[in-house]
Amino acid sequence: MHGKHNYPFKKEQSDLDIALDNNISDAAYLAILQDTLPKLIQEVNPDFIYYLCGVDVISTDKLGKLALTVAGCKAGDQLVLQLCKTNHIPVMCSMGGGYSPEIKTIIEAHANTFRLAQELFF
């Protein structure tokens, strides 16, 4: 899943590309994620998941073009990490994004990922 109208403007094609329109809401984003990821995990049966848990999806991000709230970003992390745990798939989280004007927004969004991982895996 990536912003259709965001950098890089010419995107590499993969086996599954989900281009999201600008200003997508929490509900729409989470519905796509919930509809796609469990089926993808079942189909591919991965040994490992590399999760780019960027916070540039948040509406206040100066470079991102999506419109999630911090809570919506956290809900996405929850969905991904819970699926990894439920399916016994090791996951590596890589932080990304973080261009909101207020540093506390960036810190909170990134910290949510680690809080969720700690709750689920430790």
44-96: pLDDT as tens digits: 999 999 999 999 999 999 999 999 999 999 999 999 999 999 999 999 999 99
pTM for the model: 0.95
Domain count, the chain: 1
Q: Is the pLDDT of residue 108 over 90?
A: yes
Which residues form the domain of 90?
2-121
CA distances from 116 to 4, 20, 73, 107 (A): 28, 25, 12, 14
Average pLDDT for 90-114: 95
Which residues have C-beta within 8 Å of that of residue 41, sequence separation ≥ 6? 83, 87, 89
